[in-house]
């Protein structure tokens, strides 16, 4: 049985940075990755149009000046192939691949209280003893959106053409020219795919259950001169990201919505609509997120924009969401999305009116009629945030199953630790600062905090860290309270734990999965916890033995 001091599960954006920190410290650590290579999201999502909605230069890692100086982001919102090249470059540059094991899916992780270690079982080609690994610390960097979910439709296996979830888009090129293509789903992914392929396929039929509010990405190239300027400004750029709630360059407009005149509001919105990125969402008036009237007025502004871009008024009305306001779900950014519906080869099927009944050998049957296709693309989303945790049999003290603990209520301490699951860390876990922010900015924060905790423990001879039940309750209550202030609590989206394809998550009962206090508050809170000797975490040494020169104490 192989033992490591630390095992990291997942070699995506978070796992790569986590192993870099551990390797720098000389810790005996390894990354276990289910996929055949590193990159996580950017390894899997190869669908046409897959790209950042974050400015590329705010998505890259900030930890190495040399890396920042040598990498040239070619587009303001870089596409999947380039993003994967970047992550691969990072791994190669810092010699991280030698710490990674691919095609290595972990099926179980059980905490052994007597030995104070984690026992892992993998389901790769290994047999017998080789499948079992142990570690002192388990770090879960599983990804927020790494478990794709398919509709539960009869006949899916009988379809004779090609069909796949966008997450499992084939590695080899998919011939689309002249083909009849169906896309089911109009979330951030569907909206990217549809905009990209509308003019490349024979016929495109979009099956929309609920429309999403979306706004232009306004992508463009980054010239050598611009990149040189960005490099000069990196410190400033990251400082801006650190002080904004979303971890982006986009800062909320500090004027009060109700104090600004209608003309001032329109001037802001006209400007933001034409600017690149999430400004339209995050540089808007803050009341958009909390005030029904402000949100309704802005939503109507965006609805008018849709009406201006979509020629057929009936189609335009179908593309305007009615069940939620702008920005209370994750806002997809689009490129030529609305214009796609002006094309004669693109058709919108409103499946809230005529639901899909089943998949046939030749296509899709709705309550209205049969549609024939060569390719069916399922852009139907993910078992978000907790899905990847649920798929590993994680058992803590006394064999308590995490999936059971979280069945009714998600509860964590700072989104990074769980009571009853000692030495298990989640740099970007549920209720952490990552999910609702520019992901890599949140990840660096989380990884640094977890790594600092390990260093703190090592320096003092502690070998066991467990969040107290009280600290976990206080954090979870805090996360819940923050939801109460946000209009997003009313929307059925992955931010609230809704997924029609996952048993138990289809009701729309709110699950408190993301921290909504903003990046600066999150960072201040977790830093304060660390500064107080990890208040809320019980630190101890194995079997109660105090390390020399330091008295392990429960820090309440």
Measured from the Cβ of residue 504, the count of other Cβ atoms closer than 10 Å reads 11
Measured from the Cβ of residue 64, the count of other Cβ atoms closer than 10 Å reads 15
Q: Within a 13 Å sphere around the CA of 93, how many CA atoms are in the beta-carbon half?
A: 15
Please say which residue, 52 or 73, places its beta carbon nearer to ligand NA7: 52
Q: Tell me which residue of 537, 533, 539, 535 sits closest to 552, measured CA to CA.
A: 539
Q: Tell me which residue of 85, 63, 49, 50 sits closest to 17, measured CA to CA.
A: 63
Q: How many residues bind ligand NA7 (CB under 6 A)?
A: 20
Measured distance CA(101)–CA(548) in Å, rounded: 36
Q: Which stretch binds ligand NA7 (CB under 6 A): 245-253, 380-388, 414-422, 446-454?
A: 380-388
87 to 126: interface string for ligand NA7, x by CB under 6 A: ----------------------------------------
Element (H, E) at 235: helix 224-243
Please say which residue, 342 or 500, places its beta carbon nearer to ligand NA7: 500
- For 232, counting Cβ atoms within 10 Å of its Cβ (0-12 exposed, 13-18 middle, 19+ buried), the class is exposed
Please say which residue, 149 or 295, places its beta carbon nearer to ligand NA7: 149
Q: Any bridge partners for residue 334, and if so which?
A: 216
145 binds ligand NA7 (CB under 6 A): yes
Q: Which stretch binds ligand NA7 (CB under 6 A): 173-181, 241-249, 359-367, 379-387?
A: 379-387
290 binds ligand NA7 (CB under 6 A): no
330 binds ligand NA7 (CB under 6 A): yes
Measured from the Cβ of residue 272, the count of other Cβ atoms closer than 10 Å reads 19
309 touches 335 (CB < 8 A)? no
In the region spanning residues 228 to 287, those forming contacts with ligand NA7, defined by CB under 6 A, are: none
215 touches 271 (CB < 8 A)? no
Measured distance CA(316)–CA(323) in Å, rounded: 16
Quick one: which of 500, 521, 525, 547 contacts ligand NA7 (CB under 6 A)? 500
Sequence-ordered list of residues with C-beta below 8 angstroms from that of 496, at least 6 positions apart, any chain: 483, 488, 489, 508, 510, 511, 513
- For 86, counting Cβ atoms within 10 Å of its Cβ (0-12 exposed, 13-18 middle, 19+ buried), the class is buried
Q: Any bridge partners for residue 382, and if so which?
A: 148
Please say which residue, 35 or 151, places its beta carbon nearer to ligand NA7: 151
Sequence-ordered list of residues with C-beta below 8 angstroms from that of 182, at least 6 positions apart, any chain: 204, 205, 206, 207, 363, 364, 371, 373, 375, 376, 377
Quick one: which of 151, 276, 420, 547 contacts ligand NA7 (CB under 6 A)? 151
State the residue number with the nearest CB to ligand NA7. Answer: 187
Please say which residue, 379 or 539, places its beta carbon nearer to ligand NA7: 379
Q: Which stretch binds ligand NA7 (CB under 6 A): 101-109, 358-366, 374-382, 476-484?
A: 374-382
In the region spanning residues 176 to 195, those forming contacts with ligand NA7, defined by CB under 6 A, are: 184-190
501 binds ligand NA7 (CB under 6 A): yes
Quick one: which of 46, 136, 179, 210 contacts ligand NA7 (CB under 6 A)? 210
381 binds ligand NA7 (CB under 6 A): yes
Question: Considering the complex, what minimum distance in angstroms separates the CB of residue 496 from ligand NA7?
Answer: 11
Question: Considering the complex, what minimum distance in angstroms separates the CB of residue 498 from ligand NA7?
Answer: 7
Q: Where are the alpha helices (DSSP H) in 352-504?
A: 387-390, 402-408, 439-460, 469-485
Question: Considering the complex, what minimum distance in angstroms separates the CB of residue 361 from ligand NA7?
Answer: 19
496 binds ligand NA7 (CB under 6 A): no
Question: Considering the complex, what minimum distance in angstroms separates the CB of residue 357 from ligand NA7?
Answer: 11
Quick one: which of 68, 346, 364, 379 contacts ligand NA7 (CB under 6 A)? 379
Question: Considering the complex, what minimum distance in angstroms separates the CB of residue 489 from ligand NA7?
Answer: 16
Q: Which stretch binds ligand NA7 (CB under 6 A): 13-21, 68-76, 269-277, 373-381?
A: 373-381
Q: Which stretch binds ligand NA7 (CB under 6 A): 81-89, 339-347, 478-486, 493-501?
A: 493-501
Measured distance CA(424)–CA(430) in Å, rounded: 13
Binding site for ligand NA7 (CB under 6 A): 145, 151, 184-190, 209-210, 330, 351, 379-382, 494, 500-501
């Amino acid at each position: 049985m192989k033992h490591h001091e630390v095992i990291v599960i997942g070699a995506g954006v978070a796992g790569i940075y986590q192993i870099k920190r551990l390797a720098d410290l000389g810790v005996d650590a390894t990354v276990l990755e289910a996929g055949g290579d590193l990159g996580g999201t950017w390894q899997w999502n190869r669908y046409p149009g897959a790209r950042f909605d974050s400015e590329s230069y705010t998505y890259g890692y900030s930890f190495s000046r040399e890396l920042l100086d040598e990498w040239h982001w070619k587009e303001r919102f870089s596409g999947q192939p380039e993003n994967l090249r970047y992550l691969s470059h990072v791994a190669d540059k810092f010699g991280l691949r030698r710490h990674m094991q691919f095609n290595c899916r972990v099926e179980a992780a059980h905490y052994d209280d007597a030995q104070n270690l984690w026992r892992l079982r993998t389901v790769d080609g290994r047999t017998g003893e080789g499948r079992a690994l142990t570690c002192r610390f388990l770090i879960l960097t599983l990804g927020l959106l790494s478990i794709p979910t398919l509709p539960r439709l009869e006949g899916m296996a009988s379809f004779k053409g090609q069909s796949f979830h966008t997450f499992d888009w084939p590695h080899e090129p998919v011939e689309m020219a002249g083909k009849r293509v169906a896309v089911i789903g109009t979330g951030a992914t569907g909206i990217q795919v549809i905009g990209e392929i509308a003019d490349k396929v024979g016929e495109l039929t979009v099956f929309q259950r609920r429309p999403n509010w979306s706004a232009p990405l306004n992508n463009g190239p980054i010239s050598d001169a611009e990149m040189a300027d960005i490099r000069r400004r990196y410190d400033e750029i990251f400082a801006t990201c650190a002080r904004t709630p979303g971890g982006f360059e986009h800062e909320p407009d500090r004027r009060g919505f109700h104090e600004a005149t209608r003309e001032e509001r329109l001037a802001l919105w006209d400007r933001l609509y034409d600017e690149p990125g999430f400004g339209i969402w995050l540089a808007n008036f803050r009341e958009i997120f909390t005030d029904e009237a402000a949100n309704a007025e802005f939503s109507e502004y965006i609805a008018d924009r849709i009406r201006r871009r979509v020629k057929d008024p009936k189609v335009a009305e179908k593309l305007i969401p009615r069940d939620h306001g702008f920005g209370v779900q994750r806002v997809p950014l689009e490129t030529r999305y609305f214009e796609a519906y002006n094309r004669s080869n693109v058709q919108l099927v409103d499946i809230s009116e005529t639901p899909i009944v089943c998949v046939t050998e030749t296509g899709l049957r709705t309550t209205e009629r049969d549609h024939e296709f060569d390719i069916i693309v399922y852009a139907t989303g993910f078992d978000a945030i907790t899905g990847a945790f649920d798929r590993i049999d994680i058992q803590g003290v006394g064999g308590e199953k995490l999936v059971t603990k979280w069945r009714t209520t998600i509860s964590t301490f700072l989104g990074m630790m769980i009571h009853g699951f000692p030495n298990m860390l989640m740099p970007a876990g549920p209720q952490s600062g990552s999910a609702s922010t520019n992901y890599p900015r949140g990840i660096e924060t989380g990884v640094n905090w977890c790594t600092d905790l390990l260093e703190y423990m090592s320096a003092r001879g502690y070998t066991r860290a467990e969040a107290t039940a009280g600290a976990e309750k206080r954090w979870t209550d805090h996360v819940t309270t923050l939801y109460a202030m946000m209009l997003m609590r009313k929307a059925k989206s992955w931010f609230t734990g809704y997924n029609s394809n996952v048993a138990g998550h289809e009701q729309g009962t709110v699950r408190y999965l993301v921290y909504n206090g903003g990046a600066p508050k999150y960072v201040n809170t977790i830093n304060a916890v660390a500064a107080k000797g990890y208040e809320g975490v019980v630190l101890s040494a194995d079997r109660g033995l105090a390390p020399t020169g330091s008295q392990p104490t429960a820090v309440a």
